Structure 1
Amino acid sequence: MHRPLLLIYAQHFEGSVQGALVMSALRYFHREVGQPQLMAWDRLDVHRSREVKDFVESRSEDFVLDEFPVYSREFNPKEGCNSQVKRSMINATHESVADLRQNVHARVVSLRRRHSALRGFFEHARLSLRGLT
Structure 2
Amino acid sequence: MFFKLHVYRGRRGEPKSFAWSDYRDFIRMVHGQLGTPMVWIWDNLNVHLQQEIFDFAEEHKDWLVIFHLPPYAPEINPQEGIWSLLKRVLADFAAADLAHLTRVTKRKLKMIQCRPHLITGCLPATGLDLDGLIEAPDIADST
The TM-score with structure 2 as length reference comes to 0.59
In structure 2, the partner of 1:3 is: none
Does 1:61 pair with 2:62? yes
The answer (yes or no) to whether the contact 1:9–1:29 under 8 Å persists in 2 is no
Alpha-carbon offset, residue 82 of structure 1: 5.2
Alpha-carbon offset, residue 23 of structure 1: 0.9
Fraction of identical pairs, as percent: 27
Q: How far apart in 1 are the matches of 2:108 and 2:34? A: 19
Q: Highest CA radius of gyration, 1 or 2? A: 2
Q: Which moved more, 1:77-86 or 1:112-121?
A: 77-86
Q: How far apart in 2 are the matches of 1:88 and 1:22? A: 33
Does 1:9 pair with 2:3? yes
Gaps of 5+ in 1: 1-6, 95-99
In structure 2, give the amino acid aligned to 1:53: F
In structure 2, the partner of 1:23 is: 24
RMSD value over aligned CA atoms? 3.3
The TM-score with structure 1 as length reference comes to 0.63
Alpha-carbon offset, residue 121 of structure 1: 2.2
Q: How far apart in 2 are the matches of 1:19 and 1:86? A: 32
Q: Which moved more, 1:11-20 or 1:110-119?
A: 110-119
The answer (yes or no) to whether the contact 1:41–1:47 under 8 Å persists in 2 is yes
Q: How far apart in 2 are the matches of 1:43 and 1:54? A: 17
In structure 2, give the amino acid aligned to 1:38: V
Structure ranking higher on relative contact order (CA contacts 8 Å, 6+ apart): 1
The ranges of structure 1 where at least 4 consecutive aligned residues each deviate by more than 6 angstroms after the TM superposition are 85-90, 106-110
Number of aligned residues: 119
Q: Which moved more, 1:84-93 or 1:54-63?
A: 84-93
